[in-house]
Structure 1
Amino acid sequence: MYNISSLSALLLALLSIVSAYRPVQFVKHTGESGRADQAFSLVNYYNETTQQSDLYVRMWAFRYASSAKGWASLALGPQMKGALMFITYGDPASNTLTLTVRTVDGHHPPRPIPEMKDFYSGEVPTVDVVSTRFEEYTGQFYQEKLQAKPSHLGVAEFIVRGYDKWTACELGVHNDTTKQSMIWSSNFKQDFGGDFSAERGIDMHQFGLGFGFLWADLKNALSPVAFFGPINDMESHKGVNEIGDPLVPTTEELDAGENLISQHKDALGGGSTSDSDKSTSDSDKEVSDGTDKSGADNGSKVEEPVKTVKQFNIRSLMWHIHGFLMTLSFLVLYPLGVYFLRSPRATAFNLHWTINSLSSVSVSVGALIGFVNSRSISIWHQYLGILIICALAVQTVLGWRHHVIYISPHGGRRTWMGAVHVWLGRVVLPMAMLNVASGLLLRQYGWLTVSLTVALAAVELIVLTLVVGRARTRRPAATQKAVPIGADEAEEYFQLAGDDDDEFSDSDAEGAAGDGERVNKNAEREEQAKRLAKLDKV
Structure 2
Amino acid sequence: MSQQQQRLTHARQAPWLRNLHCTPVLTGSLILLLLLQLVHLTVAETSQYCRLGHDTGEVDFCVGVGIFHNHSTASYDLYLKLQMTQSSSGKGWNAIGTGPTMAGALMFIVYGDPLSGRDPTVSVRTVNGDSHQPPRPIEAVDTGLANVRLIHSEWLQTKRAEDAIVFVASVGAVCYGCSGWPGSPIDVSDTSHPWIWAWNDRQDMSLADYAVDAGMEVHNFGAGGWGLFYVDMQRSTGHNASLPHIQPGVTAIGASTFPGKASTSLSNAEDTSLGKTSLLVALGKFGLGLVHSGTIGSCKYWQHL
Question: Shift of residue 96 of structure 1?
Answer: 2.6
Report the alpha carbon displacement of residue 99 of structure 1 after superposing the two structures with TM: 1.0
- Higher helix fraction: Structure 1 or Structure 2? 1
Compared CA separation, residues 211 and 50, structure 1 to 2 (3 A): same
- What's the counterpart of residue 50 of structure 1? 73
Which of these two proteins has the greater Rg computed from alpha carbons?
1
2:153 counterpart (117, 123, 132) = 132
Cα 1:183–1:150 change in 2 (3 A) is farther
Look up the match of 2:252: 237
TM-score (norm 2): 0.67
* Alpha carbons 2:91, 2:112 under 8 Å: kept: yes
- Maintained 8 Å contact 2:191/2:231: yes
Deviation, 1:235, is 2.0
Specify the alignment match of 2:211 in structure 1: 197
* One-letter code aligned to 2:83: W
> Cα deviation per residue 1:89-120 (whole Å; 9 max; x = unaligned)?
111112331111111132131001229x6xxx
SS in 2 for 1:108: coil
Structure 1 unaligned residues grouped into runs of 5+: 1-16, 261-538
- For the 8 Å contact 1:21–1:254, the answer to whether it is kept is no
Distance 1:258 1:128 in 2: 35
Q: What is the count of residue pairs matched by the alignment?
A: 229
Which aligned pairs between 1:19-418 and structure 2 lie closer than 5 A? 21-30=44-53, 34-64=57-87, 66-93=88-115, 94-104=117-127, 105=129, 106-114=131-139, 123=144, 125-138=146-159, 141-142=160-161, 149=164, 151-169=166-184, 172-193=185-206, 195-208=209-222, 209-245=224-260, 246-248=262-264, 253=272
Partner-residue secondary structure (3-state), 1:219: helix
How many angstroms apart in 2 are the aligned matches of 1:49 and 1:257? 31
* Percentage of pairs with the same residue: 25
Q: 2: distance between equivalents of 1:58 and 1:257? A: 22
Cα displacement (A) at 1:183: 0.4
Taking only aligned residues, the RMSD between alpha carbons, in angstroms, comes to: 2.9
Secondary structure in 1 matching 2:220: coil
Q: Secondary structure at the match of 2:72?
A: coil
State the alpha-carbon separation in 1 of the partners of residues 236 and 276 from structure 2: 9
Deviation, 1:51, is 2.9
In the alignment, the residues of structure 2 paired with residue 80 and residue 189 of structure 1 have an alpha-carbon distance, to the nearest angstrom, of: 21
Q: How far is 1:127 from its partner?
A: 1.1
Matched-pair contact (CA < 8 Å) for 1:27–1:233: no
Larger strand fraction of residues: 2
Q: CA deviation at 1:82?
A: 1.3
Q: Is the 8 A contact 2:191 2:263 kept in 1?
A: no
SS of structure 2 residue aligned to 1:28: strand
Which digits, 9 at most, give the CA deviation of each residue in 1:156-210, with x for residues without a partner? 10111111112322xx211122111110111111101251111111111101211
Q: Distance in 1 between matches of 2:210 and 2:79?
A: 24
The amino acid of 1:50's aligned partner reads T
Structure 2: gaps of 5 or more residues: 1-39, 280-305
Give the 3-state SS of the residue equivalent to 1:73 in structure 2. strand
Distance apart, 1:34 and its partner CA: 4.9
2:139 aligns to what SS in structure 1? Answer: helix
- Check conservation: 2:137, 2:213, Cα contact below 8 A: yes
Deviation (angstroms), 1:57:
0.5
Q: Is the 1:62–1:150 contact (alpha carbons within 8 Å) kept by the matching residues of 2?
A: no
Name the TM-score, length of structure 1 as normaliser: 0.39
**2 CA distance for matches of 1:50 and 1:255?**
36
| Residue 287 of structure 2: aligned partner | none
Instruction: Answer whether contact 2:198 2:225 (CA < 8 A) is retained.
Output: yes
Q: Which has the higher contact order (CA 8 A, sep 6+)?
A: 2
1:225 to partner: Cα distance: 1.7
